[in-house]
Amino acid sequence: MQELENKNAIVTGGSLGIGAAIALDLAKNGVNVAINYRKHATEANKIVDEIKKLGRKALAIQADVSVYADAERMVQTAIKEFGGLDILVNNAGINQDSVIWKMSEEQWDSVISINLKGCFNYIRAVAGIFKTQNHGKIVNITSINGLRGKFGQSNYSASKAGIIGLTKSVARELGKFSINVNAVAPGLIETDMVVSAPEEVRQKALAEIVLGRIGKPEEVAWVVSFLCSEKARHLTGEVIKVDGGQYI
């Protein structure tokens, strides 16, 4: 997409899976991309190298999304290196599954802190900048399980439902500054976590998918890139499912 040429983006959790696919697809469309990582430095640097091979600028920054100071530092570093910031994709997330009567406080807190507070931290860090420049695109990665819930995932589903509420509220607050805020809700996607899941779990989820196959990370990335482009300039506060009909 030509209108994305020379834009600058942050993609949280961009070293693996869906986040890596998003970072690479944005770069293919002409965007300079900064990604963060907590532990996967090798994987993050590999994505940076791939982005640079596409002729774009790239950064890998160690930052914990659950810590606001880290978010602010990453935003300022990206602006200094790229000369500006136009796009934020909040993708970083974890799951620590358990039925509610066995779930520990730590399991609840860590998932909420990374998945939901992480989104708040980065949106808060860019909001003033986007507001001043009177433009910006924010895309938050939620999940169909934030729309419907899932057995054994009360913490994950709550965090992803919270992202949907956050998306809609921030879209209302920032709309008058020409800032688009949307969410993408993947279903079952072929990531490392899904590949390593027990076959019976995969087959049960696959049976829900109308299109009869598991989605690919790049299929989520294509939708994110569209939402970051001017082709989506009249879309805000939306939640777009990329699930092959799994939610129906």
Express each pLDDT in 122-180 by its tens digit: 999 999 999 999 999 999 999 999 999 999 999 999 999 999 999 999 999 999 999 99
**pLDDT for the residue numbered 3:** 85
In degrees, rounded to 5, the angle at the alpha carbon of residue 220 between the alpha carbons of residues 189 and 117 is: 85
CB-CB contact of 213 with 205 (8 Å):
no
The helix (H) or strand (E) run that includes residue 28 is helix 17-28
Segment 206-221 mean pLDDT = 96
Residue 16: CA atoms inside 13 Å, Cβ hemisphere, count?
15
CB-CB contact of 142 with 167 (8 Å):
yes
The 8 Å CB, 24+ separation contacts for 46-52 are: 46/15, 47/14, 47/15, 47/20, 47/23, 50/24, 51/23, 51/24, 51/27
Confidence of residue 2 (pLDDT cuts 50, 70, 90): confident
156 is catalytic: yes
CB-CB contact of 236 with 181 (8 Å):
yes
Catalytic residue among 37, 68, 122, 156: 156
Segment 179-183 mean pLDDT = 98
Confidence of residue 82 (pLDDT cuts 50, 70, 90): very high
Give the chain's domains with CATH numbers.
2-242 (3.40.50.720)
pLDDT at 212 over 90: yes
Return the closest-CA partner of residue 135 out of 12, 2, 8, 1.
8
Segment 89-100 mean pLDDT = 94
Confidence of residue 194 (pLDDT cuts 50, 70, 90): confident
**pLDDT for the residue numbered 130:** 98
**pLDDT for the residue numbered 39:** 87
Segment 20-38 mean pLDDT = 97
pLDDT at 111 over 80: yes
Arithmetic mean of pLDDT over the chain? 96
